[in-house]
Amino acid sequence: MAKKALCIGINNYPGTHMDLQGCVNDANDWAGVLAGRGFKVAKLLDDQATKAAMVQAMGDLIGKAAKGDTLVITFSGHGTYQPDEDGDEADGLDEALCPYDLQTKGEALTDDEIKALFASRKAGVRIVLISDSCHSGTVTRAAKAEKDADTRPRFMPMGNWLPTKLLPKDRAGATATTMVGPSGSSPLLGAYSNNLGDLLLSGCKEGPNNFSYDARINGRYNGAFTYYALKALARLKPGATYAEWHKAIVKYLPSASYPQAPQIVGSEGARKGKVLE
């Protein structure tokens, strides 16, 4: 029964003018903690985390796992959405993760693509997903600033990376200047399977106008969720459950600087599972 992990962190998004600052630190921090708990860890950081590389790494991790294995995937970076092309989204939008080459290659990693990767798993493979990115929304809402706080949301608007011809149109056929955010979920929740015992920990609620924030805490950049999730983890008693971990995290978030509400999604059995076992 192997324990393997993939930690992805992307600060640099060439051509988008939407770089972040805490995501690489997030990935390195998760990787260090997971390695200390017996996981064999692979990382994709900044220019390593192209869409092709993310697909390859996820496919290898999941495809090579055997019954009884535990997999952990962490993602820190921008979330986005794009017009749905196959008609499976009621709101007409696919949720997606943003790879390093989002703008230069013009392709996000959509929830449909991630779901297909996860569907390749063998029976009995358990997956824990940890998402420190925005699920959906607009960038019109910002957190209240406090001293030494960075309030940058981890959300990439479509207009920052999609060609104009692919952007949603209004009734007159012109490029829409405003748009209601999707009512759907994060890409990783789309890949999550309740029946197979998966568990998702995320930095914010699903749906419109919910954000995970880049933070600067004690002079160092992190995702606010990652920082406090790892702080809570370090203080957990041996044998603590995922439900207890989440309860400890929400003692820190939401806060005045980072008004985000971390979520836990999973069956009762998954929530009662021992953390990172």
Q: Catalytic amino acids? A: 78, 134
* Region for 77 from its dihedrals, namely left if φ exceeds 0, alpha if ψ lies in -120 to 50, beta otherwise: left
**SS3 (DSSP) at 9:** strand
CA distance 75 to 30: 10
Report CA torsion sign: 136, 139, 140, 142: positive
Angle between helices 242-249 and 224-234 (to 10 degrees): 120
* Chain centre distance of CA 20: 14
* Tokens coding 69: 């294995």
What Å distances lie between residue 79 and 10, 27, 154, 204, CA to CA? 11, 16, 6, 12
Angle between helices 224-234 and 23-36 (to 10 degrees): 20
* Tokens coding 204: 């914010």
Sequence-distant contacts of 267-271: CB under 8 A, at least 24 apart: 267/194, 267/197, 269/197, 270/194, 270/197, 270/198, 270/199, 270/242, 271/199, 271/241, 271/242, 271/243, 271/246
In 10 A of CB 226, how many CB atoms?
24
